[in-house]
Amino acid sequence: MPLLKNGQISVDQWVRVNDGDPLPRSGDIIISFDRYANETEGTAPVTGRIGVTFENDRPIEEILAHIANVDLVVLCFPAFTDGRAYSQARTLRHQFRFDGEIRASGNVLPDQISLMNECGFDAFEIDAERDLTAWKRTADAVTVSYQRGYGARRQRTPPVNPA
C-alpha cells in the first residue's frame, strides 16, 4: 500500500502481521495493540521496530503504559466522517509527548491531510485505487495554519503576488 509521509509518496517498509500469524524474527512490524499488550510486552520478538494498530473506539489512555516501547501508532478511520482518531493523535502527540510516527489508516481523504497534520499525524496510508498525484498535490497545497501551536507543520514561503 502506498504511503504519504513527509509530503512524499513512498513504499511502506513496515510489515503488518495479523493476529494469530507467527511474528517474524526481524524487520519492522505492525501488530494489533491487543496482541502487543498481551503477547509481546517485556519480550523482544523481533530485532526491528514495533508498531501497533489502535482502533478509534478505545480510550487512548490504554496505550500510555506501552507508548515508550513502540515506534509507530496506526490510528484507524472506519469512515471519513468519524473523527475520533483526530483526538487520539492530538493526545498522543501533545499530552503523551509521543515522538514516533502516527499514521492514519482507513477511510482517509486527501482534503483531510492539513487538519490531520495539525493534530499530529505524519503519515497516511493511501488506497492503491486512489490517485496518488491528487494526494501529493493536496499535501503541498496548504501552507498556513489557522491555529497556533499545533504540531510541526512544513512551512513554505507563500508565493509573492506581483500585483
Structure confidence at residue 151 (pLDDT): 47
Structure confidence at residue 41 (pLDDT): 57
Q: What cell was used for 48? A: 526491528
Structure confidence at residue 108 (pLDDT): 83
Among the listed residues 89, 93, 96, the one whose alpha carbon sits nearest the alpha carbon of residue 113? 89
Beta bridge partners of 103: 74, 123
Task: Output the domain CATH number for residue 23.
Answer: 3.20.20.70
Structure confidence at residue 29 (pLDDT): 94
In a domain, 148, yes or no: no
In a domain, 150, yes or no: no
Q: What angle do CA 145, 146, 147 make, to 5 degrees?
A: 95
- Domain of 91 in residue numbering reads as 2-141
Structure confidence at residue 158 (pLDDT): 36
d(Cα 53, Cα 34) in Å, to the nearest integer? 9
Structure confidence at residue 155 (pLDDT): 37
Q: Are 67 and 60 in contact (CB under 8 A)?
A: no
In order along its 163 residues, the chain shows pLDDT tens digits of 788 887 778 888 999 999 989 988 889 999 999 999 888 655 555 688 999 999 999 999 999 999 999 999 999 998 878 889 999 999 999 999 999 999 999 988 777 887 888 889 989 888 766 666 666 666 556 555 555 554 444 333 333 344 4
Number of domains in the chain: 1
The type of residue at 16 is: R
Q: What cell was used for 111? A: 482534503
Q: What cell was used for 138? A: 493536496
In a domain, 156, yes or no: no
Structure confidence at residue 31 (pLDDT): 95
